[in-house]
Amino acid sequence: MQQLILNPRAERRLKLGHLWIYSNEVDTKRSPLKGIQPGSQCEILESNGKSLGFALVNPNQLICARLVSRKGPFTPKQLKRRLENALALRERYYPHPSYRLVYGDSDGLPGLVVDRFGEYLVVQVSSWGMETLIQDIVEALTTLVKPAGILLRNDHQGRKVEELPDLCEVAFGEVPQMVPFEENGVSLLAPVYQGQKTGWFYDHRDNRARLNQWVKGQRVLDLFSYAGGWGVQALAHGASEVTCVDASDQALDWCEENAALNNRKGDLITIQGKAIDAMKELIASGERYDAIVLDPPAFIKRRKDQKSGEAAYRHINELALRLLEKNGLLVSASCSMHLESDTLLEILRGAGRHLDKNISIIGSGGQGADHPVHPAIPETRYLKAHFVHLTGTTQ
């Protein structure tokens, strides 16, 4: 097995619990990265030769290695044990088998995501290291979970970064186009073949549950709605009417399927188009809503997007506040890892002051227990949501 020797003091993060090794931290004169096969396992050494553990390596990336074992090479037996631990965590906190079963680094399996939809699993791999273990992963999941089917949904953007080929195929059993599952007591369908990521976004489950308790009899606007995770659940929990807005016609069709599944299709309004354009048209027509959900895609994907991304968050939040009824509730969310929760609060404060409106933060939330945060890897904490009450115009 090849060894990678780190530069002096480059081991500090790893000793604190982090798992990532950057290419500029490797002493390439003593241990060249060039020539290492992507996905290979290498032993990681301090500059003085002391072993730090074993990592899966892609020599062509800035994050060139991810630690997977601190005691001996990583084996299929360890892989199965990690999956057992991940399953035990989810079964401890979720009564229904609908959740993110594996969340990458946080479960000691960097580059691996597995979402569970009842008796079906959707697997996504975004690192060469996990790609080389895919057969072991499928076999271990089949033994542990005994699913009816496992779909490899490996056609996402993350694979392009690692120069992995696109692939979408059933690895075990059979998987229907729309898989049934449950979230917050609501029956739903996930478009696992054609939808975004694995077909669903479980990360906002707790924030949706919080909103659900406040929507009975309310008129709700769900922006960037996708398949209706927020909006359809609001209908199922008694909202009088929900308007879902999304740029994708297909996503709105999925919203309607999920509303019909809950016998509320007649109370669902869909608007196809860009959220900002739709919001401006709704403002112009005098529409107002009791509750608004603003759950956009990441506006800050890289550090260089910080300034423009923060401006975009402020703009859409101002538009949302203009659409709120007095005593209305805005759920303002962000999945941008580079946007701090306090920065989003500052954006909301600025939006309220600019519009001369009194707002109060009545709650804040993050990702659920099936997206556990690794205490040494801040990158695993990315989701934030603030619940904003609009009192009215300032005096």
pLDDT tens, residue by residue, 286-315: 999 999 999 999 998 888 889 999 999 999
Pick the closest to residue 337 from 369, 377, 285 (CA basis): 377
Distance of alpha carbon 284 from alpha carbon 323, whole angstroms: 10
| Proportion of the chain above pLDDT 90, given as a percent | 93
Across the chain, what does the average pLDDT equal?
95
pLDDT value of residue 305 = 87
pLDDT at residue 104, rounded to an integer:
97
On the question of pLDDT at 370 being above 60, the answer is: yes
DSSP β-ladder status, 120-125 and 149-154: parallel
| CB within 8 Å of 333: residues ≥ 6 apart | 204, 207, 293, 294, 295, 296, 383, 384, 385, 386
For residue 248, what pLDDT is reported?
97
What is the pLDDT, as a whole number, of residue 395? 52
Mean pLDDT of 87-103: 97
244 in catalytic set: no
**How far is residue 163's CA from residue 166's CA, in Å, rounded to a whole number?**
9
- At 93 the pLDDT is 97
Residue 394 predicted with pLDDT over 70: no
Q: What is the pLDDT of residues 259-287, one digit of tens each?
A: 999 999 999 999 999 999 999 999 999 99
223 pLDDT more than 60: yes
- pLDDT, average across residues 212-227: 98
Q: Is residue 1 scored above 90 in pLDDT?
A: no
pLDDT at 222: 98
Closest by Cα among 144, 73, 67, 61 to 102 = 144
Determine the pLDDT at residue 300. Answer: 87
Q: What is the pLDDT of residues 102-159, one digit of tens each?
A: 999 999 999 999 999 999 999 999 999 999 999 999 999 999 999 999 999 998 777 8
Specify whether the CB–CB gap between 56 and 128 falls below 8 A.
yes
Element (H, E) at 325: strand 324-334
29 C-beta neighbours (distance < 10 Å), count = 8
Does 393 have pLDDT greater than 70?
A: no
Residue type, 353: R
- Give residue 122's pLDDT: 98
Both structure tokens of 10: 């480059």
Task: Catalytic residue, from 42, 244, 255, 335: name it.
Answer: 335
pTM equals 0.94
